[in-house]
């Protein structure tokens, strides 16, 4: 969990690669359905473009079947659940082992998102200061053009940050009460990452990607 630009995607990919977990990103699935112009994509487009949360029933229908297909795997969710209703829907189909919450100052979030560029087909994320592409404006692997999300533009960003605060609190309180919440604060992903990595090293058996009891 964490506000837009807090580094959820960047850290999630590191976790998934380092610990062999399946990676599921709600934002990526939403953008994929928008790009494919599916019925669901047309419905969610106006929310995502304005930086508003997609309705809970739509999100739950998008995410829960994917988790059900992964019953025998260990996985990492990025961006879901965002609301208490989503957290309750998730709780009804599985038991979470741990939740990571990122606390990043507002000014840092604003700077990062205005500098973010994406390769739409793969979801690869670049930042002109932090992890720039080898060739400006082009994806490192395919050489295809990079784009900026509509929801990273300043008007959408303010709405996204405000919404995040309002809806995240009850979810964070829920996970705190379950004793599974781990919060990390800072302005640099590379400084936060070693703490997250060592937390997970203590919990995950890297040979099979299973969460242990320690």
Q: Which residues contact 117 (CB under 8 A, 6 or more apart)?
A: 125, 126, 127, 128, 133, 137, 146, 147, 148
Which of 16, 19, 21, 26 is the binder for ligand G5P (CB under 6 A)? Answer: 26
Instruction: Confirm or deny that 71 is annotated as ligand binding.
Output: no
DSSP letter string over 13-78? HHHHHHHT-EEEEHHHHHHHHHHTT-HHHHHHHHHHHTTPPPPHHHHHHHHHHHHHTTTTS-EEEE
User: Does residue number 34 form part of the binding site for ligand G5P (CB under 6 A)?
Assistant: no
Phi, psi of 7 (to 5 degrees): 105, 15
Using CB under 6 A as the binding rule, the residues of this chain from 155 to 194 that contact ligand G5P are 160, 188-190
Closer residue to ligand G5P in complex, CB, 15/200: 15
Residue 14 or 210: the one with the smaller Cβ distance to ligand G5P is: 14
Q: Is 69 annotated as a binding residue?
A: no
Give the residue with the Cβ less far from ligand G5P, 10 or 101. 10
Q: To the nearest whole angstrom, how small is the minimum distance from the Cβ of residue 51 to ligand G5P?
A: 5
Query: Residues comprising the binding site?
Result: 5-10, 26, 31, 52-54, 79-82, 86, 116, 125-126, 160, 189
């Amino acid at each position: 969990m964490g506000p837009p630009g807090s580094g959820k995607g960047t850290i999630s990919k590191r976790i998934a690669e380092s610990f062999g977990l399946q990676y599921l990103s709600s934002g990526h699935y939403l953008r994929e359905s928008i790009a494919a112009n599916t019925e669901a994509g047309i419905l969610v487009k106006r929310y995502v473009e304005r930086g508003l949360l997609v309705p809970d029933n739509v999100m739950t229908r998008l995410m829960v079947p994917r988790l059900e297909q992964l019953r025998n795997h260990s996985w990492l969710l990025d961006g879901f659940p965002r609301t208490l209703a989503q957290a309750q829907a998730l709780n009804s189909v599985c038991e979470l082992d741990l939740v990571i919450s990122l606390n990043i100052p507002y000014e840092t979030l604003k700077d990062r998102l205005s500098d973010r560029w994406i390769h739409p087909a793969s979801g690869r994320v670049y930042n002109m200061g932090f992890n720039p592409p080898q060739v400006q404006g082009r994806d490192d692997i395919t050489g295809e053009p990079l784009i900026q999300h509509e929801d990273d533009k300043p008007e959408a960003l303010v709405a996204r940050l405000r919404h995040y605060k309002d809806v995240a609190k009850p979810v964070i309180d829920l996970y705190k009460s379950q004793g599974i919440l781990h919060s990390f604060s800072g302005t640099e992903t590379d400084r936060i990452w070693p703490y997250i990595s060592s937390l997970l090293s203590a919990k995950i058996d890297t040979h099979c990607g299973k969460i242990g009891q320690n």
